[in-house]
Amino acid sequence: MGLRSRLGRARDAWSTHLAPVWNGSSIDDSTWEGLTDALLLADVGVVTTDALVDGVRDRVGREGVVDVDGLLRLLKAEILARLGETDRNLALGGEPSVWLLVGVNGVGKTTTIGKLGHRESMAGRRVLFAAGDTFRAAAADQLSLWADRSGLTVVRGAEGADPSSVVFDAVAHAASRGADLVLADTAGRVHTKANLMDELSKVRRVAEKGAGTVTETLLVIDATTGQNGLAQARQFAEAVDVTGIVLTKLDGSARGGIVVAVQDDLGIPVKLVGVGEGVDDLVSFDPEEFVDALFASDVPA
Amino acid sequence: MFESLTNRFEGILRRVRGKGRLGSDDVDEFLREVRVAFLEADVHLEVVRTLQDRIRERAVGAELVGALNPGQQVVKIVLEELTEVLGGEAVHLPYASKPPTVVLLAGLQGAGKTTTAAKLARWYKARGRNPMLIGADLRRPAAVEQLRTLGDRIGVPVFSEPSDPVAVVRAGLAEAVRLGRDVVVCDTAGRLAIDDDLMAEVAEVSGVLEPHHTFLVIDAMTGQDAVSTAEAFHARLSLDALVLTKLDGDARGGAALSVKEVVGCPVAFASTGEGLEDFETFHPDRLAGRILGMGDVETLIEKAEETFENEQAEEAAARMLEGTFTLDDFLDQLRALRQMGPISSLVGMVPGMAQQMGNADVDDGRIDRIEGIINSMTPAERFDPDIVDGSRRARIARGSGTQAGEINQLVKQFREMRKMMKQMGGRGMTKKKGRKGRKGRKGGGGRTTARGPVPVDRKKGLSLPGLGDQASLPGFPGGGLDLLGDRPKG
């Protein structure tokens, strides 16, 4: 299934708000207002929305575009330009490689690890889970259930154990068994808690004390997140040097527009998208497909 | 990263300075900034428009009176409109006449339902109830285990079985009756508002459960989607209130304002931390300040008081300066301050406070302990902490779960604070003879009660015994005597 059909709902939600734009044949003030509203309702945020609309307005004037179709083409191009042509592959190369998943509470870190483990083991890599969320009750149980589904091993510590030590042990275990990849879960934390962010930096450091190398630090962001997503990205990037974003729950009605702002503002690329509850519902982020999916079928013939 | 509304207004202020009233164009300029502030706080676009209209209606042509500059006047109107939407009262949750009182929790995945269920059960337990938890989230792996672990931690039984959610709640209710539990809190699976099957399932659960209260658990970080989510749940479940989670971060929580405006659901509880005790009934007025940025409220209130409540502030000041300020007054101020948001965030927001506090470890837990200590005192002890002796101290320590040393520290610092204020009162007298004389009469007048002559102004700043020797907020003797005594009349 392509991203386009998976994103059906997000696209429908977005297109509802764009309807006033499509329905006008020529470009006037209400077109711009509709465009602005649509972007704001998609959680793109005031600053990025204004920049996008200004950019499109500028080009519409310069290039003499007079119809709504042309305008939408330019809008897509503007969004794509902001998403950039970044390398969105997940890096390997450690022995083992460690991918650390971080984020605020409830965004779907554990679920993402479950799906990612399945995906990477299907791709032929020997994957091991580190149950680094020692805070949330039964988080390790949840991860173990995911591991069982894909026949993977979990290294877990006692509840309340030091997450750094759990990750360290998992890396050692992986090295001794010749595993390629350690997927390390971490407890959700609100990015304003300095002590918890310090704890996370420590996990990141300790993960490389042994044989392992942290080749990806993925920030998981929930598609329903509003403008606080920027603050999250900024704080996590400062604490652990985030290499990519996983945008989850995009199968809901939320539009995930905050990632446009995050990439625009901080240059952190979206690498993966979560689009459902199934083990296969984690796909690579393709910006073109993403933007197309958001607009496709809505452009009047 | 968020600019406070007052800062946003600065540029406009220069232009409108000296005007007697605000014209339509002036107001529109302010409203553009208001719009950005609201949108950055994740208030829904439609709600932003509605609020803008209401604010415009009140602001255009409004006379610029007193000491409020036009910007402050607009902030005041904005704040009043926000408070109007949010309502001023905390939500009242009656108990069922025939127990158990049943509470259903619903919400999107990851909003924090399971944790909230445990926190709510703990909250009821702390109020002398005998709650039971039902784990009807059979979808998320290990959700029931999570609830069982949390249940163990708070000593509340958890009922669940691996069947289907409807069967679980049916059996759970019977179990609650059998065990004589008087409150039942039911956790449900997270779902997408657009997932019809799952929405039908939770509606069916609700039909069997017949809850007295249905809460939507919603993440304070939610963006524009909050309204459609709440509408979808409301259509199926008829929501009574919201529980706003993850309010310990820096999200402004505009989503809650939108939901209140569109669906009419007030916020009943706020979850403010990871500990199971970090859960409290929500005071709606807090959110208004949060959405606008604390500084605005501070500034506004200070300025408004300067003009309109000078009299009251003076009376309060008089009592402080005479040294008749009691621990009860202090507790009032502490609570007033708490209403404005977590202390830890206040410290950063109040200009100069961070420096004054130095590296003193200011956290809400510590404030909780101070509140606990004062609450464990008798009225006589609060009025005159000097009577606290060894046996009283031991009793207070037991009652508040603190150490004798903490009580000593509080009493000592309170005493010093009162002494310092009295000295300052003396200085004020020589400086401002006439006024002090008037205050003196008032303060010493006939209205003396056990608590003193007049209520202490709740909105003024305060210094904080127990939080470091120099801890002080502007607007309170020590931090800003001049504000209280020597302010020019509006």
pLDDT for the residue numbered B483: 25
- Distance (Å, whole) CA B201 – CA B208: 11
Say what the pLDDT of residue A59 is.
92
Candidates A37, A227, A277; nearest CB to B45: A37
Work out the average pLDDT over B397-421.
83
Flag whether pLDDT at A1 surpasses 70. no
Using 50, 70 and 90 to split pLDDT, how confident is the model at B418? confident
In a mutational test of the A interface, the residue from B40, B150, B225 whose CB has the highest number of chain A CBs within 10 Å is: B225
Pure H helices in B17-44: 24-40
| Distance in angstroms (rounded) separating the CA atoms of residues B251 and B353 | 22
Label residue A30 by pLDDT band (50, 70, 90): confident
Mean pLDDT confidence for B407-427: 73
pLDDT at B262: 92
Greatest Cα-to-Cα distance within chain A, rounded to the nearest angstrom? 66
- B1 to A230: CB separation less than 8 angstroms, yes or no: yes
CA distance B296 to B31: 15
Classified as helix, coil or strand, B231 is: helix
pLDDT of residue A9: 54
User: Distance between CA atoms of B3 and B252, rounded to whole angstroms?
Assistant: 12
3-state SS class at B105: strand
- DSSP string for residues in B319-386: HHHHT---HHHHHHHHHHHHTTS-HHHHHHHSTTHHHHHTT----HHHHHHHHHHHHTS-HHHHH-GG
pLDDT at A293: 62
User: Which of A27-41, A267-281, B253-267, B432-446 has the weakest average pLDDT?
Assistant: B432-446
For position B470, what pLDDT does the model report?
33
Q: Range with the lowest mean pLDDT among A236-250, B97-111, B141-155, B441-455?
A: B441-455
- Of A231-245, B309-323, B347-361, the range with the highest mean pLDDT is A231-245
- What was the pLDDT predicted at B453? 33
Tokens (6 digits) for B471: 């801890």
Record: contact A138-B146, CB cut-off 8 A: yes
Shortest Cα–Cα distance, A42 to chain B (Å): 7
Confidence of residue A13 (pLDDT cuts 50, 70, 90): low
B194/A contact by beta carbon, under 8 A:
yes
Q: In this model, does residue A25 exceed pLDDT 50?
A: yes
Give the one of A41, A136, A231 whose C-beta lies nearest to B250's C-beta: A231
* Mean pLDDT across B280-292: 78
Average per-residue pLDDT for chain B: 75
Model's pTM, two decimal places? 0.74
DSSP codes of every residue in B182-220: SEEEEEE----TT-HHHHHHHHHHHHHH--SEEEEEEET
Q: Is the pLDDT of residue B430 over 50?
A: no
Mean pLDDT within B100-118: 95
Neighboring chain A residues of B221 at a CB cutoff of 8 Å: 104, 222, 225-226, 228-229, 232
Tokens encoding A236? 């996590």
CB contact under 8 A, B1 and A229: no
Range in A88-92, A226-230, B172-176, B369-373 the model is least confident about: B369-373
pLDDT at B362: 55
The pLDDT of A134-159, averaged and rounded, is: 92
Residue B158 pLDDT exceeds 50: yes
pLDDT tens per residue, range B29-80: 888 888 998 999 999 999 999 999 999 998 887 766 666 677 777 878 888 8
- CA-to-CA separations, A195 to A130, A145, A191, B248, in angstroms, rounded: 21, 30, 10, 14
Compute the nearest-CA separation of A45 from chain B (Å): 7
pLDDT score of B194: 75
pLDDT at B305 over 50: no
Encode pLDDT of B224-262 as tens digits. Answer: 999 999 999 999 999 999 999 998 888 888 999 999 999
Give the pLDDT score at B82: 86
The per-residue pLDDT for B454 is 33
pLDDT of residue B197: 86
CB contact under 8 A, B225 and A254: yes
Please indicate whether residue A196 or residue B449 has the higher confidence score (pLDDT): A196
Work out the pLDDT band at B335, boundaries 50, 70, 90. low
* pLDDT score of A143: 95
ipTM (interface predicted TM): 0.89
Q: What is the mean pLDDT of chain A?
A: 88
Q: Among the listed ranges A10-14, B45-49, B390-394, which one has the minimum average pLDDT value?
A: A10-14
Q: With an 8 Å Cβ cutoff, are A224 and B192 in contact?
A: no
pLDDT value at residue A54: 93
Say what the pLDDT of residue B18 is.
Answer: 66
Angle at A253 between CA A251 and CA A254, to 5 degrees: 90
B310 lies within 8 A of chain A by CB: no
- Per-residue pLDDT for A188 more than 50? yes
Q: The tokens 């969004």 sit on which residue?
A: A79
Predicted local distance difference test score (pLDDT) of residue B214 = 97
B412 touches chain A (CB under 8 A): no
Alpha carbon of A95: minimum distance to chain B alpha carbons (Å): 31
Report the relative pairing of strands A213-222 and A181-184 from DSSP bridges: unpaired
* Interval A195-224 mean pLDDT: 96
At residue B468 the predicted structure's pLDDT band, cuts being 50, 70 and 90, is very low
At residue B175 the predicted structure's pLDDT band, cuts being 50, 70 and 90, is very high
The pLDDT assigned to B84 comes to 85
pLDDT per position as a tens digit, A59-77? 999 999 888 888 888 998 9
- pLDDT given at position B433: 37
Is A23's Cβ below 8 Å from some Cβ in B?
no
Lowest pLDDT segment from A108-117, B275-284, B451-460: B451-460
Q: Give the torsion sign (CA, B93, B94, B99, B104).
A: negative
- Give the C-alpha separation, B29 to B14, whole Å: 12
Q: How close, in Å, is residue B222 to chain A by CA atoms?
A: 5
- Chain B residues within 8 A of A136 when measuring between CB atoms: 146
Q: Two tokens at B455?
A: 């209520």
Share of chain A residues as helix, strand and coil, in percent rounded to the nearest 5: 50, 15, 35
Q: How many CB atoms lie within 10 A of CB B327?
A: 23
